[in-house]
Amino acid sequence: MAEIRVENLVKRFGSVTAVADLSLEIRKGEMVALLGPSGCGKTTLLRMLAGFEHPTEGHIYMDGERINDLPPQQRRIGIVFQDYAIFPTMTVYDNVAYGLKIKKLPRERIRKEVEEYLGLVGLSSYGERMPSQLSGGQQQRVALARALINKPEVLLLDEPLSNLDAALRLRIRKEIRKLQQSLNITAVFVTHDQEEALSIADKIFVMREGELMQSGGPDTIYTRPANDFIADFIGRSNVMYGRVLAGGSEPRVSVDGTVFQVSPPAGEGLSPEERVWVSIRPHLIKLHPLDGISPDRDPALESANAGRGEIVYVEYLGNYTKGEIRLPGGRDLEFEHYHLDPGAGETSLRRGQEVRYEIPARNILTGRSIRGT
């Protein structure tokens, strides 16, 4: 268990800047996710932490000691590669024993430890098998055991689940998280899958084009995205662009003629005429079927962010219905309508149905755009 600190780290490959002036801290025992689209520099950062790549500029500290020039084998860092790279001509046992044999530990001690770590990853009876006789998930667990048996201070996992099918991804993800928590190991989990990052990490670092965009707990990143890139990238959202009509504590924004009262952004306020992004999560749009209710007599109908809309598309998904609602101004928003009390006989939404929609201003996020649109 160790803590890692990175200061102003830069990595250039010729004219390509893979990592640009990145600073971050990873605490002892923390599992952090490095999240970002393909090519944003995740693997490059991981390889610098592990010592396989030398930084162009900046510093890497482990427990306060600068390790820039320390060779990989002296860093007490374990790494599980994107393609997990276990030795195909060695048995499972020999794969896991590899690191201990290199250290020339006594044969009996190696046997005990390999058995312990195979047990830890649920492969006790698989020692004699060859990798080709294992499923993808089992190979993944061999790679994990092989990294863990060296008792690394820090475990680096580079998209460890990318070769697995959907069901296995969920299972192994939970196993990795539980193992990391029970061993209390510092870990960095690289992924470009936002749900994976949200689910597994204590803290998320969102990267884009070699830069750190935002760091924070999964709930912070989801509910308070720092900019439109993150609002769009993390979770599903209707991200739109508009113009500020009024700033202050109850700001209003016009998006192609549809006016939204929005939640004031963190930090400095908004000025009239500014171009901004607006983000509305589909599940935060409240829908009430208008069947049998006279909309004209409903006082809430004309309030801010509420009105009469038409359902123009639906997908029934059991626990919820997702679809699109057309607002009076003609704009379509994606919604997710959860079926919270099916026993009460609620009817499902239909295409063409008229509904009252309501979006609390506190749940409409906004800010200055970093995308220049």
Ligand X SMILES: Nc1ncnc2c1ncn2[C@@H]1O[C@H](COP(=O)(O)OP(=O)(O)OP(=O)(O)O)[C@@H](O)[C@H]1O
Binding footprint of Mg ion on the chain (CB under 5 A): 43
40 near ligand X (CB under 6 A): yes
157 near ligand X (CB under 6 A): no
Residue 113 φ then ψ, to 5°: -70, -40
48 near ligand X (CB under 6 A): no
- Which lies closer to ligand X via its Cβ, residue 48 or residue 262? 48
38 near ligand X (CB under 6 A): yes
- Which lies closer to ligand X via its Cβ, residue 18 or residue 314? 18
Q: How far apart are CA 265 and CA 263, in angstroms?
A: 6
Which residue's Cβ has the minimum distance to Mg ion?
43
Of 23-31, 35-43, 165-173, 241-249, which segment contacts ligand X by CB under 6 A? Answer: 35-43
In this structure, the chain runs to a length of 373
Buried-exposed string 298-311: b where 16+ CB fall within 10 A, e elsewhere: eeebeebbbbbbbb
Query: What letter represents residue 166's amino acid?
Result: A
CA distances from 258 to 114, 276, 336 (A): 64, 14, 21
Question: In the structure encoding, which two tokens stand for residue 3, read together?
Answer: 């803590």
First-to-last alpha carbon distance for the chain, in angstroms, is 44
CB of 39 to Mg ion, least distance (A): 8
CB of 42 to ligand X, least distance (A): 3
218 near ligand X (CB under 6 A): no
136 binds, among Mg ion, ligand X, none (CB under 5 to 8 A by kind): none
Side-chain half-sphere CA neighbours of 336 within 13 A:
15
Residues 185-214 that bind ligand X (CB under 6 A): 192
44 binds, among Mg ion, ligand X, none (CB under 5 to 8 A by kind): ligand X
For ligand X, which residue of 4, 9, 41, 123 counts as binding (CB under 6 A)?
41
DSSP assignment of 23-72 equals EEEE-TT-EEEEE--TTSSHHHHHHHHHTSS--SEEEEEETTEE-TTS-G
Alpha helices (H) along 127-280: 136-148, 166-183, 194-200, 218-223, 228-233
237 near ligand X (CB under 6 A): no
CB of 158 to ligand X, least distance (A): 7
44 near ligand X (CB under 6 A): yes
- Which lies closer to ligand X via its Cβ, residue 44 or residue 139? 44
For ligand X, which residue of 20, 27, 28, 39 counts as binding (CB under 6 A)?
39
Residue 85 φ then ψ, to 5°: 35, 55
Instruction: Tell me the number of residues near ligand X by CB under 6 A.
Output: 12
For ligand X, which residue of 18, 22, 100, 255 counts as binding (CB under 6 A)?
18
DSSP assignment of 318-334 equals SSEEEEEEE-TTS-EEE
CB of 357 to ligand X, least distance (A): 37
13 binds, among ligand X, Mg ion, none (CB under 5 to 8 A by kind): ligand X
- CA atoms 192, 198, 200, 201: torsion sign: positive
* Residue 363 CB contacts under 8 Å (≥ 6 apart), including other chains: 263, 280, 281, 284
Of 32-40, 196-204, 244-252, 347-355, which segment contacts ligand X by CB under 6 A? Answer: 32-40
Axis-axis angle for helices 136-148, 107-120 (nearest 10): 130
- Which lies closer to Mg ion via its Cβ, residue 82 or residue 199? 82
CB of 41 to ligand X, least distance (A): 4
Where on the chain is the footprint of ligand X (CB under 6 A)?
A: 13, 16, 18, 36, 38-44, 192
